[in-house]
Amino acid sequence: MSSFKAGIQKLGKAMLLPVAAMPFAGLIMRLAADDMLNIAILGAAGNAIFGNLDILFAIGVAIGFAKAKDKAIPALTGFLAIATLQKGLEIMNPDVNMGIFGGIISGLVAAWTYNRFKNQKLPMIFSFFAGEKFPLTMVMILQTISAAIFGIIWPIIQNGIDSFAAMLVGMGALGVGIYMFLNRILIPFGLHHVLNTYVYFDLGSYTSPSGEVFRGEITRFINGDPSAGLFLSGFFIVMMFGVPGICLAIYRAAFKEKREMVKGTMGSGAATSFVANITEPVEFSFMFISPLLYTVHALFAGLAGIVTYLLDIRIGFTFGACIIDYLINFRIATNPLLIIPVGIAFFFLYYFTFYYLIKKKNIPTLGREEEKEYADEADESEKDISLASKNYAYMAKKLLDALGGVGNIEDAFSCNTRLRVEVKDPSVVDEQRIKQLGISGMIKPTETNYQIIIGLEVTYVMEELNKLIQSN
Band (pLDDT 50/70/90 cuts) for residue 412 is: confident
Kindly state the average pLDDT of the residues 50-76: 82
In three-state secondary structure terms, 145 is helix
Q: Which of 96, 127, 153 is the last residue of a domain?
A: 153
Check pLDDT > 70 for residue 15. Answer: no
With the C-alpha atoms ordered 323, 327, 330, 336, is the resulting torsion angle positive or negative?
Answer: positive
User: For 326-335, what is each residue's pLDDT tens digit?
Assistant: 998 898 899 9
Q: What are phi and psi of 457, to 5 degrees?
A: -85, 5
Residue 309 lies in a domain: yes
Domain end, chosen from 132, 153, 174, is at: 153
User: Do the domain assignments include residue 159?
Assistant: no
Question: What does each C-alpha distance from 248 to 103, 241, 244, 278 come to in angstroms?
Answer: 31, 11, 6, 17
Q: Does residue 330 or residue 457 have the better pLDDT?
A: 330
Q: What is the mean pLDDT of residues 19-40?
A: 67
Least confident of 207-211, 247-251, 370-374, 386-390: 370-374
Are residue 101 and residue 66 in the same domain, yes or no? yes
**CA distances, 150 to each of 144, 146, 286, 291 (Å):** 10, 6, 30, 28
Residue 71: pLDDT over 50: yes
**Separation of alpha carbons 165 and 167, rounded Å:** 5
Confirm whether 170 is domain-assigned: no
How far apart (Å, rounded) are the C-alpha atoms in residues 463 and 466?
5
Supply the DSSP symbol for 411: E
In this predicted structure, what is the pLDDT of residue 231?
Answer: 93
Across the range 359-377, mean pLDDT stands at 69
- Give domain status of residue 373, yes or no: no
CATH number at residue 429: 3.30.1360.60
Q: Is the pLDDT of residue 14 over 70?
A: no
Domain range spanning residue 427? 380-470
Compute the mean pLDDT over every residue in the chain, rounded to the nearest whole number: 82
Task: Say if 367 falls within a structural domain.
Answer: no
Do 386 and 333 sit in the same domain of this protein?
A: no
Are both 219 and 339 inside the same structural domain? yes
Q: How far is residue 359 from each of residues 224, 277, 292, 355, measured CA to CA in Å?
A: 47, 28, 13, 6
Mean pLDDT on 255-262: 85
Verify that 14 and 75 share a domain, yes or no: yes
Q: Which residue has the higher pLDDT, 390 or 131?
A: 131
Residue 305 and residue 205 share a domain: yes
Q: pLDDT, tens digit, for every residue of 88-121? A: 999 998 888 777 778 888 999 999 999 888 888 8
Is residue 314 domain-shared with residue 230, that is, in the same domain?
yes
| pLDDT of residue 176 exceeding 70 | yes
pLDDT at position 23, please? 55
pTM over 0.75: no
One domain, residues 271 and 420: no
Do 346 and 390 share a domain, yes or no? no
**Is residue 74 one of the residues assigned to a domain?**
yes
Domain-located, residue 173? no
171 within some domain: no
C-alpha to C-alpha distance for 399 and 423, rounded to whole angstroms: 13
Q: Say how many domains are in the chain.
A: 3
Confidence label for 144 from pLDDT (cuts 50, 70 and 90): very high
Torsion over CA of 215, 221, 224 and 225, rounded to 10 degrees? 60
Does 273 share its domain with 350? yes
**According to the per-residue pLDDT averaged within each range, which of 22-26, 148-152, 376-380 is highest?**
148-152
Question: 160 or 153, which is more confident?
Answer: 153
What pLDDT is recorded for position 20? Answer: 61
My answer on whether 11 and 134 are in the same domain is yes
* Active-site residue list: 415
Q: What is the mean pLDDT of residues 341-364?
A: 96
The β-bridge relationship of strands 441-443 and 213-215 is unpaired
Task: Tell me the three state secondary structure of residue 311.
Answer: coil
Domain boundary among 328, 360, 392: 360
Do residues 244 and 306 share a domain? yes
Q: Is the pLDDT of residue 466 over 50?
A: yes
Dmax over Cα atoms in the chain, in whole Å? 84
Do 356 and 385 have their domain in common?
no
